Chain A
Amino acid sequence: MSLLELDGVTAAYDRTPILRGVDLSVDEGEIVGVMGKNGVGKTTLLKTVMGLLEPTEGTIRYAGADVTSASADERARAGIGYIPQGRDVFPKLTVEQNIRMGEKIRADSDETLYDQIYGYFPILDERANQDAGTLSGGQQQMLAIARALVSNPDLLLLDEPSEGIQPSIVGQISEDMQAINEDLGTTILFVEQNLGVIREMADRCYAMERGEIVDEVGPTTLADEDAIAEYLAV
């Protein structure tokens, strides 16, 4: 059953359209990638799904309900988690306070979830009382993932997890995301331009160009490096 469904979604900043009639669906339990170069509208796509930007046309259905005009905080409470590009941790709150910000969303987050999250990212437990702004890029990415996870989301939106992070940590984060998908059953929709991350993480992938979905790539094609490199070529 599809958890998220976008039907002809068009979104714009001021009058400039960024998304043009995007159709996309994500099934429960899947990890779906959206690949594309800089500026094709990947971030805008996730912001529109999160409700930070209202579509001018089209509908967004989540868990069977029409959420097209629901606000971001309503969607968060309905179970959509968001990990923004560049992490956007709260720099002057401590690591622990950042995570607690995520916990406020839903009442059903419990202590065992914390243990599980610290299991993936033990460094966050060690640095609990440090200001988040003092963490490295990779650690901030882990913190942003943890902050989204404590609300126990059903759908996690992840914006360019590899951006500005050391290659060694990128591989670890991809593995963590797959483990999270498997252990917690969290459905993941991520956007990315790093070929390695897409191939490693995604079950299925959409290709995006100039605000439109131009192709859908199944597992077989994902294995073919040359075929998907084409979508990211300059």
Chain B
Amino acid sequence: MVNGINLALQFLDSFAFIVLAAAGLAIIFGIMGVINLAHGEFILVGAYATTLSATKLGLPLAAAMLVGTLVTAAFGVVVERFVISGAVPNWIGQRTVGRDFVEPLYDRLADSMVATFGLSLIMVQGARVVFGNSIDTVGTPFGNIAYGAFSYSTYRIVLSGVSIALLVGVYYIFTRTEYGMTARATIQDEETARALGVDTERIYMATFAIGSGLAGLTGALFAPTLSMQPTLGDQFLVEAFVAVVVGGPSVVLGTALSGGVLGAIQAVFTNLYGTFFGRIALLAAAMVALRFLPDGITGFIETVQSRRQEGE
């Protein structure tokens, strides 16, 4: 019985971590075709901004988390304008030498990886130069719940609730709002969307801001549980990538399903053999999944659906 509770909590913990780590990356990749290797450092921005506004400015933790999320979203807009779309360098280019300096990185997977990897290095070292090797942390709120001989951090259970709320929220945004419909139309056919009066540049900017904001939220939420070092983003990046790749093309459903599947596997192995083997099992499962479902879980679902339609 007690072991069952352990397993359930372990699953919720893994699920929350995977979903929260992946959400921002999945949106930016799914909609803009940009692989953001600086995703971990966007999480770093959220975590640092949250921690600093709580410890230095004395904000209550919830307010500090909101600040962390918004600061990261704003930072994302700056990165989008300068690096991803190249709008700022091109604006300067048009006014000085009369031509564009760079092409936007949309749908250029390899190029976007190189550019954002460079950005990630700059950000990690930048954080180290400005803030040193570590900063003071905020304590984990809510204390522990105890059952039998075990106790468990209440905050981590709250996080799993937040991760589900976040999936619902993102699903709502992309299927029910004006922005979501326009964004989906833009991914499916950018040229036609423009001919229908959609300012696709603004859509991309908004999407990058939302993806960055979610990364910032992840950093904000995990800030109380982590030690604040410039490299803290690394531990999110692997899970985030694995979840996005295993999830496949459909952003929300893919992230939810891969969070569920990978979270379950990680929970079982962690429970039986410890954290180290839990992580190995997660990566092994991802490798097996990609061998047999190269387009991810939702890619597989789409293939099955279209086959059934053809059969009708």
A residues whose Cβ falls under 8 Å from a Cβ of B: 50-52, 71-73, 76-77, 82, 84, 88, 90-93, 97, 100-102, 104-106, 134, 147-148, 151
Contact = CB atoms under 8 A, between A and B. Distances in A.
Contact of B181 (A77, A93, A148): A93
Contacts, number: 62
A93 B185 contact: yes
Contacts of A52: 191, 194-195
Q: Which of A97, A104, A151 has the most B CB atoms < 10 Å from its CB? A: A104
B182 interface: yes
A73 B198 contact: yes
A129 to B, nearest CB: 13
Contact of A90 (B188, B199, B200, B309): B188
A91 B188 contact: yes
Interface in B188-216: 188-189, 191-200
A163 B184 CA distance: 26
A221 B298 CA distance: 56
Given A93-B184, A93-B188, A104-B182, A73 B309 contact: no
Contacts of B197: 73, 76-77, 104-106, 151
A22 to B, nearest CB: 19
B182 to A, nearest CB: 7
A84 B192 contact: yes
15 contacts: A73-B197, A76-B196, A77-B197, A82-B196, A84-B192, A90-B185, A90-B189, A93-B181, A93-B185, A101-B193, A101-B198, A102-B196, A104-B178, A104-B182, A106-B197
B181 A84 contact: no
A151 B195 CA distance: 11
Contacts of B309: 134
Interface string B259-274: 0000000000000000
A148 B309 CA distance: 29
Contacts of A102: 196
A97 B198 CA distance: 14
A101 B194 CA distance: 11
B184 A92 contact: yes
B254 to A, nearest CB: 14
A142 to B, nearest CB: 16
Nearest to B198: A73
Given A88-B189, A134-B309, A72 B184 contact: no
B283 to A, nearest CB: 32
B194 A71 contact: yes
A97 B178 CA distance: 10
A73 B194 contact: yes
A50 B184 CA distance: 22
Q: Which of B191, B194, B197 has the most A CB atoms < 10 Å from its CB? A: B197
Given A77-B197, A93-B185, A106-B197, 6 more contacts: A82-B192, A82-B195, A90-B189, A101-B198, A104-B197, A105-B196
A147 B196 contact: yes
Interface string B166-177: 000000000000
Nearest to B195: A82
Q: Which of A72, A82, A102, A105 has the most B CB atoms < 10 Å from its CB? A: A72
B198 A104 contact: yes
B302 to A, nearest CB: 10
Contacts of B196: 76, 82, 101-102, 104-105, 147-148, 151
Q: Which 7 A-B pairs give the minimum distances between C-beta atoms?
A: A105-B197, A76-B197, A82-B195, A72-B194, A88-B192, A90-B188, A90-B185
A92 B189 CA distance: 11
